[in-house]
Amino acid sequence: MEFRVRSAVADTPAYVPGKPAAPVAGQKAYKLSSNEHFMSPLPAVVEAAAKSLETMNLYGDPGVFDLTEEMAQHLSVETNQLVFGAGASEILAALFHITAEPGTEVVFPWPSFEMYVPLTLLEGATPVKVPLREDLGHDLDAMAEAINDRTRLVILCSPNNPTGGPVGREEFEEFMAKVPHDVLVVLDQAYFEYMVEGGFDGVDALPSHPNLVVVRTFSKAHGMAGLRVGWAVAHPDVISAMRTAIMPFSVSRVAQAAASASLRLASDVDVRAKEIARIRDDMQARLREIGVPVADSQGGFLWLPLEDKAEEFERACRDVGVAVRQLTGGVRVSIGEEEAMDRVAHVASELVARGHASGATTSGQES
């Protein structure tokens, strides 16, 4: 069927989500392809969500009043520095919508979060993908050089999805000193709670950088991916502009109730996030011992830069009932149950036994 659409739509590829897990011969299947939290939700959060279902005939509070108040207190910021949306995805979409248009450019590291590409193209703007450094950190010098008169938005992803490297405070400050003050810089911290070292809390940098927008979500460490709540913290003027591009009522009543409950349990959420970080670090060491390349990760996942062996690795994982995510240059494995980690480690040993990944143990940072 032919119908008239914006030319940008024809040029925008649809987002390809992670594959579902396919069970093999009666075994439990594991989905490690979408960075979902593998532990069951905290009971008090489920309870709060269930209770709010009783009023599903009502819209959620369009002003997200209670959650905004609680988050402002939690982060020690003003309420007018916060806006919530249907996941960090809607928050990011709003940021693209208020800045990018045909003839303008959006600068981001690559590989990074897949969505940055279609979000740029849908606005008719041009993506400027700046390759990560060899050690898989953001090449902030190259990113600063890529900024010009046409640049409207710059995105940093810390820890970076899918490679896991964080942006450090010092390199961030050096970078910000080179960015024009009227260009918005987004610090996407979807995996903030999993960071143990090397990164920093973007909220701490807000007072000295009015053009900084910190993006966070309840989808990852809070384990609420299915309820869609994300938020931005920024200068009130940036937040006001973002509100024009966020759908009213996009954060449901159930989602707001669950998010408030989860925020009240922030220390439990953090304990679980650090437990996942510990499994991540153990698994990283284990894979290195086996002899496959693994990047140093501060996210809720590991990155195996397997290059031309990535497809084979993904297939071998699928054959043992584990869905992992093949992306440009490698495979991303979300942290999951012990049994799932064991199967991935087994697939890795077999790959090495076939002589496919030998001598590649030093990818990523040292150690």
- Residue closer to ligand PLP, measured from CB, 300 or 321: 300
Determine the straight-line distance between the first and last CA of the chain, rounded to whole angstroms.
56
- What's the rounded Cα separation, in Å, for the pair 108 and 157? 8
Task: Tell me how far, at minimum, the Cβ of 157 lies from ligand PLP, in Å.
Answer: 5
Task: Tell me how far, at minimum, the Cβ of 122 lies from ligand PLP, in Å.
Answer: 16
- What's the rounded Cα separation, in Å, for the pair 136 and 159? 11
Scanning 84-92, 130-138, 178-186, 358-366 for contacts with ligand PLP by CB under 6 A, the matching segment is 84-92
Q: Which of 52, 120, 161, 284 binds ligand PLP (CB under 6 A)?
A: 161
For residue 211, what is the enclosing H or E element? Answer: none
* Residue 315 CA from chain centroid, whole number: 24
Q: Which of 119, 157, 234, 357 binds ligand PLP (CB under 6 A)?
A: 157
Asked if residue 89 binds ligand PLP (CB under 6 A), the reply is: yes
Residues 6+ apart with CB under 8 A from 306: 292, 293, 313, 330, 331, 357
DSSP strand pairing (151-157 vs 325-327)? unpaired
- Residue closer to ligand PLP, measured from CB, 216 or 309: 216
Q: Which of 190, 241, 273, 341 binds ligand PLP (CB under 6 A)?
A: 190
Helix 266-290 and helix 253-264, axial crossing angle in degrees, nearest 10 = 80
Scanning 87-95, 134-142, 203-211, 282-290 for contacts with ligand PLP by CB under 6 A, the matching segment is 87-95
Q: Which of 67, 88, 310, 322 binds ligand PLP (CB under 6 A)?
A: 88
Tokens of 88: 């960090």
Give the DSSP letter of residue 5.
-
Task: Tell me how far, at minimum, the Cβ of 159 lies from ligand PLP, in Å.
Answer: 8
- Residue closer to ligand PLP, measured from CB, 205 or 360: 205
Task: Tell me how far, at minimum, the Cβ of 115 lies from ligand PLP, in Å.
Answer: 7
Task: Tell me how far, at minimum, the Cβ of 86 lies from ligand PLP, in Å.
Answer: 7
> 303 forms bridges with which residues in the sheet?
332
- What's the rounded Cα separation, in Å, for the pair 220 and 229? 10
Give the interface size with ligand PLP as a residue count (CB under 6 A).
13
Task: For residue 115, report the phi and psi dihedrals to the nearest 5 degrees.
Answer: -65, -25
Contacting ligand PLP within 228-267 (CB under 6 A): 230
Instruction: Write out the residues near ligand PLP by the rule CB under 6 A.
Output: 35, 87-89, 113, 157, 161, 188, 190, 217, 219, 225, 230
